[in-house]
Amino acid sequence: MKFLKLFWAICLMIVISAVLSGCATVTENSFDAKQYGFAAPDTEARADGTFVLMPQNAPSISQGFRPVINEGLDIVGTAGTPVIAAAAGTVVYAFYESLYGNQIMIEHGIDNNGKYVRSGYRHLEQLMVSKGDKVIRGQQIGTIGSSGYFAGCFPYLNYEVLVVDNPDKGRFEKVNPHSFWEGGPGVVTCYDSSKKLPDSPFKATYPVPCRKLIPNK
């Protein structure tokens, strides 16, 4: 009984955190009311010392990487917005569970440091791939939603990156996704179908399509 009370207390704290730090970013009267081009800061500086450079046409990040509380990036979007694979890989799982809702995990091979990498996509409205499927960079794998108790009050994508030295001898650890963009650490990189990018080592492009830029006249 004590464990259940503690569990639900933690759940409530996380939901409140989502409401205060996430939902507030999409209200019209708030300071961060911007659906494109905004990136909430991380709570801890990365070892590479870089800042986040956010394209003006990329859907905004309402909550940055926060150890324990939010070990990923929360990306703003309306329900049904496409979610795309951040890089080529194999689907490890795609299923629903009550806390994080519809979710997908993709295995990508190794990164620049020789570590094995996976990317995770949570709170999806729709799953469009299954376990064992091979996916390519930019392929639609699902849609943004608000499934799962931890989703809070609005639809968004929780995007994670996980690494491990040896998957046979250790557990995957969640790390800051900003360290793995194709453009470099901290340089959020939109997916561009006209550009052919290598599949290895792992480098990510944004897991939600960026809108087309309107050229200046």
pLDDT reported for residue 94 = 98
Residue type, 199: D
> Exposed e or buried b for every residue in 4-36, given b needs 16+ CB within 10 A?
eeeeeeeeeebeebbeebbbebbeeeeeeeeee
pLDDT reported for residue 216 = 59
Q: In sequence order, what E strands does the chain have? A: 61-63, 73-76, 82-84, 89-97, 101-110, 116-127, 134-135, 140-144, 156-164, 173-175
Name every residue whose Cβ is closer than 8 Å to that of residue 16 and which is 6 or more positions away in sequence.
none
Backbone angles phi, psi at 96, to 5 degrees: -110, 140
pLDDT reported for residue 59 = 97
pLDDT reported for residue 18 = 45
In CATH terms, 2-180 corresponds, of 3.40.50.300, 3.40.50.1220, 3.60.9.10, 2.70.70.10, to 2.70.70.10
Domain layout of the chain by residue ranges:
2-180
pLDDT reported for residue 9 = 47
Cα-based angle 65, 69, 73 (whole degrees, multiple of 5): 30
Q: Tell me: the pLDDT tens digits for 110-140?
A: 999 999 999 999 999 999 999 999 999 999 9
Name every residue whose Cβ is closer than 8 Å to that of residue 9 and which is 6 or more positions away in sequence.
none
Q: How many CB atoms lie within 10 A of CB 90?
A: 16
- Stretches in the chain below the pLDDT threshold 50: 2-33
Name every residue whose Cβ is closer than 8 Å to that of residue 180 and which is 6 or more positions away in sequence.
111, 117, 161, 202, 203, 204
